[in-house]
Chains A and B, each alone.
Chain A
Amino acid sequence: MKILSRNRTVRSAALFAAAALALSACSVQGGSGDGDGGGDYPTRPVEFSVPTEPGGSTDLVTRALAKSIEEPLGQSAVVLNKPGANGKIAGKDVFSSNPDGYRVAVMPQSLFAVGPLVLDDPDAVQLEDMTFIKGLAVEDYVMVVPADSPIKSVEDLKKAGNIKYGTTGAGTGSQLSQALLLGLQKVKATAVPFDGGGPTLTAVLGGKVDAAGLQIAEAFEQIKAGELRGLAVFSKERLDALPDVPTATELGYDVTVDQRRFVAAPAGLPDDVRDKLSSAIDEAVQSKEYSDVLESSYIGRWDADGAEVEKQLRESRDQFKTMTEELGVDMKGQS
């Protein structure tokens, strides 16, 4: 980015001078490394890009990670929020930079596994663009209805028919999990996508939609307070946080959908740099701060190395694709 303003300064005076000044003031930790050897990496701060606005769970997890990784890394870690286009903006930005280990991104599984089902994007971030470093977190989804809803169980969804279900957005696990469940039930249903967890929660609390898919942290307090009823969770096994809510699988609907987050760098990252980062992350995720964030947000650990991350992404992508195709669930049309 700095390069941009450097190359084109000779335009018109005041505006661009100001722009350049503002730039150099803000992006001190650029990624244009010039030949740092891998051996003494890192010699300057490492930048962690987050593809969301500040405040969401990805942001919280990354900030806790960044804070805890400074010691094992021996350098400061900077968190940079680059929201937009379900992570594509941050992904494109980081993965087109120099693979020197000074710029990494925390990416969501949904961008690669669910996104393609909703949108044909020839320009999407590809798995081949990344060097996978470490898995970080697993977040689970729960399908909820208002406490006073006549729908008491997953079976009741079938009886009720014509279900309007709130999702946290197009191409999210919230949409996919419910679409698959309702698809298996052959219930007529319409997805109503909202802009994230907060608005979805508001809508289902107010009875504006019949049901909604939320992450555990978003729904937990409301379920505890008796405002919402959990119908099913989409994890493999029942969750410690919601022991009374059955999994979709045990109800006979083989739907497991979760959201996973991982750290990735541009493709072509030298192995020694990757190992250094990966062992620093291993150490950082043991810190109390990081553990507290996970615990209070009902987020699980995802302890996976780079190869496992890649495998998980490929598998979930293929699995979701096959399932939606078999069930004839068209995520595009009804998202």
Chain B
Amino acid sequence: MDFLSPVLDGFGVVFQPDNLLYCLLGVTLGMLVGVLPGLGPAATIAILLPITYNIEPTSAIIMLAGIFYGAQYGGTITSVLLRLPGEASSVVTAIDGHEMARQGRAGAALGIAAIGSFIGGTIAIVALTFVAPLVSGFAIDFGPAEYTMLALLGILLVTTLGTGSIFKSLAMATLGLLLATIGQDPLLGTARLTFGSDQLLDGIDFVIVAMGLFGVGEILYNLEALRKKAPKAAPVGSVYPTRKDFSESKGAIARGSLSGFLLGILPGGGATMSSMVAYAVEKKATKRPEKFGRGAIQGVAGPETANNAAATSSFIPLLSLGIPANATMAIMFGALMLQGITPGPLLVEEEPQLFWGVVNSMYIGNLLLLAMSLPLIGIFVRILKVRAAILAPLTILITMIGVYTVRNNVFDMYLVIGLGLLGYLMKKVGFEPGPLVLAFVLGGILESAFRRSMRTFDGELSGFLGEPIAASLLGAIVLLILLSVLRAVRSRNKATQNKENKNSDVTPAEREPEDGAEQRDRDPAEHP
């Protein structure tokens, strides 16, 4: 087997004691920075870059890669326990994960997330080993037209999040899209909605929106609850997931691995999309969709598996094409260049030791992370026993540090407080932040991708139909809408036939994609 020998050589590289040590160092650091919201893996790797000058290239990249996927494990912890999603890909985890924590099932949520992450990550590495050359082309097949459709699909899926009404979800998604337009026009650089302030020129960072609406909003809301009744420590149930939890999440983990691997290859919003797709798929797959948004374990298992699988597969474009798929990969690119290696299509042939050493180190890294996470869960869930009067200011402190580190900018700290107040008011009147935050992320992709497409199509909307992938995605969107309409009509007929069937919980939930999609679909057409 000619193909397998460099792979096996790669294991030889990984099992050198110093490489094992760098791997352990990387994943431990990664997990720590993942726990701290704001200080993401990208910034950490940038700070550590000078240290790697004097290390062997392979060891250096093994360590830096460990920081990246280790951070994915750590990010779950704050999402679940404190409702502080530090990255776009863990926003959906915060919805059901935090709900589980409130019900005393934080341990189960973190446990299943760690196990799902491990399985998703490992499956993605296996897939990377065998099919990386085949699927790497997937990344360059996605241009502006394809991203336009992908973002549209994502906005369609936003409406399936949480438990709120369709109209509230849509209103929030619209607000998210509006917020995304703040700052410089993505193509021309003209200032928009900045009120003459330089601070808003670059738009609002995702971390600030997520931490303000989720984290700070939640804290303010809880403070209010403190006054009403004596503070009751959240019960911390079994620290580990039960057998029932496992059997409920099996399917979610399997499906999450697949969607995560495939979408992760796409540069840009791949990881975020994969967690949303995973959530939407689980909500459709389950027999009890009403549990979603109220602490469904599949709502944690699916997205968490998917975002880890995506983190792994996002190495594919970098290592096999020389294209960095996200900010962290861009810094990895820099790190490799500092070592005198420019990642490109020839990397696998020219540097097989490096390529396979790094890929195979991820098996070990994931194993280490699983071994570290499980015992730590017992310690982390104790955070919930801390009195709110102590926990709340601490959380705010962490949030503020995190927000400051994003751009080293004080203005962002005021912004997060403002958004926190908005999040508090939203929660008070029953609007959920999930659709807003995700529409905010997707809005940025949608607008620039759509306008780029229009430039390449000479302004003809029909250009989308000429691109096979974009056209197929458009077909999927139309199909989803039609199915939803059909189902809504049918259940409405049923409802009129037997009036005792007043459980209308399902009906609006099924109808919602229809409204959302049509609105978004029409929008670009009206755009000149």
Contact = CB atoms under 8 A, between A and B. Distances in A.
A32 B487 CA distance: 65
Contact of A55 (B330, B340, B400, B410): B330
Contacts of B344: 220-222, 224-225
A56 B143 contact: no
A170 B334 contact: no
A67 B198 CA distance: 30
Residue among A56, A80, A209, A296 having the largest count of chain B Cβ atoms under 10 Å = A296
A18 B322 contact: no
Given A53-B327, A208-B456, A335-B187, A26 B405 contact: yes
A170 B187 contact: yes
Nearest to B331: A55
B409 A82 contact: yes
Interface string B320-355: 011110010011011001111011111000000000
Interface residues of A, number: 68
Interface majority SS (helix, strand, loop, mixed), chain A: helix
B142 A199 contact: no
A1 interface: yes
A5 interface: yes
B250 interface: no
Interface in A7-49: 14-15, 17-19, 21-23, 25-27
Given A170-B188, A296-B337, A198 B331 contact: no
B143 A83 contact: no
B475 interface: no
Given A55-B333, A224-B344, A292-B340, A203 B188 contact: no
Contact of B342 (A5, A86, A217, A227): A217
B49 A217 contact: no
A206 B404 contact: no
B191 to A, nearest CB: 8
B50 interface: yes
Given A5-B410, A63-B49, A203 B144 contact: yes
Contacts of A297: 337
A198 B334 contact: no
A41 B51 CA distance: 27
Interface in A212-249: 217, 220-222, 224-225, 227
Nearest to A220: B342
A224 B317 CA distance: 17
A54 B331 contact: yes
A190 interface: yes
Nearest to B196: A123
Interface string B38-75: 00001101110110010000000000000000000000
Interface string A83-122: 1111011001000000000000000000000000011000
Contacts, number: 183
Contacts of B141: 206
Contact of B400 (A22, A190, A199): A22
Contact of A206 (B140, B324, B396): B140
B455 interface: yes
Given A54-B42, A289-B53, A221 B187 contact: no
A108 to B, nearest CB: 14
B396 A15 contact: yes
Given A18-B393, A22-B404, A217-B337, A164 B455 contact: yes
B46 A54 contact: yes
Nearest to A222: B344
Nearest to A190: B455
A81 B342 contact: no
A162 B184 CA distance: 28
A84 B189 contact: no
B101 to A, nearest CB: 22
B198 A201 contact: no
Given A205-B140, A335-B189, A296 B342 contact: yes
Given A119-B188, A201-B323, 11 more contacts: A19-B400, A59-B46, A63-B50, A67-B50, A84-B202, A123-B198, A170-B188, A202-B267, A203-B144, A206-B142, A296-B342
Interface of A: 1, 4-5, 14-15, 17-19, 21-23, 25-27, 53-56, 59-60, 63, 67, 80-86, 88-89, 92, 118-119, 123, 162, 164, 170-171, 190-195, 198-199, 201-203, 205-206, 208-209, 217, 220-222, 224-225, 227, 289, 292-293, 296-297, 332, 335
Closest 4 CB pairs of A and B: A221-B344, A54-B46, A208-B143, A206-B140
